[in-house]
């Protein structure tokens, strides 16, 4: 069994909390972005040019991919 300093378990717990906080933040960002695409927000999205629409969908895809990657890595 490795010798752990008393601080190491605390540092590990803080890193886990940081990962969870980051995951929670990315999930909240994705949720807000997708909320803007539904209902009345869809009309505004639809009125954007194709480049902006593609960039927003790309952003949503990147956020979903990062969330998926972090969940799989935990």
pLDDT of residue 73: 81
What are the phi and psi torsion angles at 4 (to 5°)?
-105, 135
Look at residue 14 and tell me whether its pLDDT is greater than 80: no
DSSP 13-41: HHHHHHHHHHHHHHHHHHHHHHHTTSTHH
Give the tens place of pLDDT for each residue, 44-53. Answer: 888 999 999 9
Give the tens place of pLDDT for each residue, 20-48. Answer: 888 899 999 999 999 888 888 888 888 99
pLDDT of residue 11: 66
């Amino acid at each position: 069994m490795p010798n752990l300093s008393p601080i190491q378990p605390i540092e590990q717990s803080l890193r886990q909390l940081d990962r969870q906080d980051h995951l929670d933040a990315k999930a909240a960002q994705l949720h807000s972005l997708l909320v803007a695409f539904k209902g009345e927000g869809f009309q505004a999205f639809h009125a954007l040019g194709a480049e902006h629409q593609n960039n927003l969908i790309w952003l949503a895809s990147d956020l979903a991919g990062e969330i998926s990657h972090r969940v799989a890595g935990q």
